[in-house]
Amino acid sequence: MNNSLSGLPSLAGEYALGGDLVDQYQTKGHIRLNGLCSTEEVAAFRDVIYRAETRLNRERRPLEERDTYGKAFLQTMNLWTADEDVKAFVFARRFAQVASKLMGVSGVRLYHDQSLNKEAGGGHTPWHQDYYYWPLDTAHTITMWMPLVDITPEMGTLTFASASHKEGYLGPLEISDQSEAVFDSMVAERGFTLDHTGAMRAGDATFHSGTTLHCAPGNRGTYNREVMTIIYFADGTMVMDPDNPNRESDLGNWLPGLKPGMPAASILNPLLYP
């Protein structure tokens, strides 16, 4: 584990989050927050995250040899366990405070982090619900999605189906051509308003509920869409009995040693706020 931590900015200060933004998140199931990190902060952490994901990612196949999921992004999870500098970013009190207030809960635990590097020329991210993957018995889950470089819509910024989180869990559909077809039809049939994130500066962020439907186009830009995400859930959540292979896998990987009915509080799920 890298233990340098040298010269990295502190992310302890709180973000001014008004009640109107909390109301917007709870109504729509997603929110955009500009300037969650300053230009200087995100630049410093972009370097350490990039080095860690480059070292840890094992995907070596060219794009044309991958399936739809594999073409969507290079995905590297739980970087914080391998690098102390990345840990300083993932454990940031500022981010966890926002997650807690948006969900209206008293405390949040870490589920896992993941870098999502959509390569130049990379494919679209199909419509999906993140919650399909998580064996967490709660409606209080949330993902922070932060670009580490300036990005344009052509590079694959997110589209949300607003208020779709109120429909709850919509079934066992992993990110795939099938989820794209089923949820695309559902979005049209139920008349969800589509909110396109648009261009984002490095350090801006979106937060979305685990049951909010979302997707992203392919990267038609000339450089990679580098994004870091952090997933949080409410403190006090219990582990559910996994009902699909991906939830079974997540139980072993991100909730090690735990069984259904136990508190979701393994060594990999520290309390990050308060």
The 10s digit of each residue's pLDDT in 114-139 is 999 999 999 999 999 999 999 999 99
Is residue 38 pLDDT above 90, yes or no? yes
User: What confidence tens digit (pLDDT) does each residue in 198-240 have?
Assistant: 999 999 999 999 999 999 999 999 999 999 999 999 999 999 9
Average pLDDT of span 67-91: 92
Inside any domain, residue 167: yes
Q: Is residue 13 part of a domain?
A: no
Q: What is the mean pLDDT of residues 245-252?
A: 98
Per-residue pLDDT of 83-100, as tens digits, reads 999 999 999 999 999 999
Residue 10, domain member (yes or no): no
What is d(CA 63, CA 260) in angstroms, rounded to the nearest whole number?
37
Sole residue written with tokens 């039809």: 185
> Is the confidence at residue 5, as pLDDT, over 70?
no
> Is residue 105 in some structural domain?
yes
> Alpha-carbon distance 200 to 84, whole Å?
27
pLDDT at residue number 1 = 41
- Rounded mean pLDDT of 169-195? 97
Domain with 23, as residue range(s), is 19-273
Is residue 8 in a domain?
no
Domain count, the chain: 1
Confidence of residue 3 (pLDDT cuts 50, 70, 90): very low
Q: How much is the mean pLDDT over the chain?
A: 94
Measure the CA dihedral 97/100/106/110, to 10°.
Answer: -90
Residue 6 lies in a domain: no
Residue 6's pLDDT band (boundaries 50, 70, 90)? low
Is 126 part of a structural domain of the chain?
Answer: yes
The stretch 48-66 carries a mean pLDDT of 87
Any idea what the CATH number is for the domain that residue 32 is in? 2.60.120.620
pTM score, two decimals? 0.94
Helix, strand, coil distribution of the chain in percent, nearest 5: 35, 25, 40
User: In angstroms, what is the C-alpha Rg of the chain?
Assistant: 17
| Backbone torsions φ then ψ of 175, nearest 5 degrees | -65, 115
Res. 62 pLDDT band, cuts 50 70 90: confident
Q: Which residues contact 36 (CB under 8 A, 6 or more apart)?
A: 15, 94, 95, 98, 146, 203, 204, 205
- The predicted model gives 52-69 an average pLDDT of 86
More confident site: 101 or 58: 101
Q: With contact defined as beta carbons under 8 Å apart, do 245 and 186 qualify? A: no
26 falls within a domain: yes
